Amino acid sequence: MSAIPAVVLGGTGYVAGELLRLIAAHPRFELAAVMSDSQPGEPLAAAFPHLGGAYPDERFKSQAQTQEIVSAARVSAVFSAAPHGASAALIDALLRTAERAGTQPRIVDISADFRYATPEAYAAVYRQPHAAPARLAQFSCALPEHLRELPTAHVGHPGCFATAILLASVPLLAARLVAPTLFVSGVTGSTGSGRRPVEGTHHPLRHADLYSYGALRHRHVPEVTACARAACGVDAHFAFVPHSGPFARGIHVTVQAQLARALDSAGLLAALREFYARAPFVRVESQAPRIKDVASSNYAHLSGAVAGGTVAVLCAIDNLNKGAAGGAVQWMNRMFDLPETTGLTAPAPGWT
């Protein structure tokens, strides 16, 4: 079996580092280029010392060098970890170059640039025009667990908070188990804010603390609403309060709603297990999920309870892996007709 060239755009952030770690252990993807216009020619290991053993000689490439590599490969797996607002233009330029060369890259964008169906919907959230509106129709935005057949050539991966919320919420909505107003509380680790230091990720401020931000106005909510509608045909309202937690990796969300029909806790767990029976990375357990059980892995742990007409579903994922890089590799496996689990079955280390 021949290797599939893998390309990472925007290659110096936390998500890019996680992509590179996963690609290094993947049996079919082989790193062909890591693009960074800010550090072309610099050693990859200078930005990611922990990856020096896997990529001792790899250096960041410019946009022009990356386009040349994609144009020379008949097919390639392109992952964009570029920032929101920058990714679309990079992808558009790469696709135009590939189209002229007659090559066929498949793309998973991990930024927000291809999570919305229209440029108006994107602009309403990010307050800037979309850089490649003509490309939106070439992308689907969904979790692999919620879209069995991919109708487009490329994928826009949902955000990390959106991933956890959708995993917990879509089974409830799809089975019409709850009223379509869901109350969500979520806690994320500091890596979710990106590699550039800001007040919210500064260790002395975040250590041994817990605080909310953006209550009821988080930018992932319109994305969650659109993805839930696409997954199960229900227009739901999500009242979401995110929190910053005193840890680096992981997300824990609690989704609560009023039951629409009689159900007990055992019935809820059975419904979740049935919905995710064909989802190799989703585990439904009777005990509450813990971030340490999933951190650094592509697995999601769910549980839930029912009392007094209210249902609560709990979900824990790793924000950099299942919520970003791992989910992207999972999609790319499917796009190249590989087993969905290829390169992703390593368990969580447990003592992060």
Catalytic site positions: 160
Q: How many CA atoms lie within 13 A of 277 on its CB side?
A: 4
Q: How many CA atoms lie within 13 A of 64 on its CB side?
A: 2
Q: Strand ranges (DSSP E) for the chain?
A: 4-9, 29-35, 75-80, 104-109, 139-141, 154-156, 181-188, 211-212, 237-244, 251-258, 282-284, 300-307, 310-317
**Cα 156 → chain centroid:** 9
Question: CA distances (Å), 318 to each of 202, 265, 299, 347, 350, in order?
Answer: 20, 25, 8, 12, 12
CA separation for the pair 162, 289 (Å, rounded) = 17
Q: Which tokens belong to 150?
A: 């991919």
Question: CA distances (Å), 266 to each of 134, 166, 303, in order?
Answer: 47, 21, 10
Three-class SS state of 130: coil
Which one, of 165, 143, 163, lies nearest residue 155 by Cα?
A: 143
Those residues whose C-beta lies under 8 Å from the C-beta of residue 34, and which sit 6 or more positions away, are 7, 8, 11, 16, 20, 44, 58, 60, 61
CA separation for the pair 243, 96 (Å, rounded) = 40
Sign of CA dihedral 93, 96, 97, 102: positive
Cα-based torsion angle of the residue sequence 341, 345, 348, 349 in order, rounded to the nearest 10 degrees? -150
Please, are residues 291 and 250 in contact by the beta-carbon 8 Å criterion? yes
Question: CA distances (Å), 38 to each of 49, 86, 134, 187, 298, in order?
Answer: 18, 13, 27, 32, 30
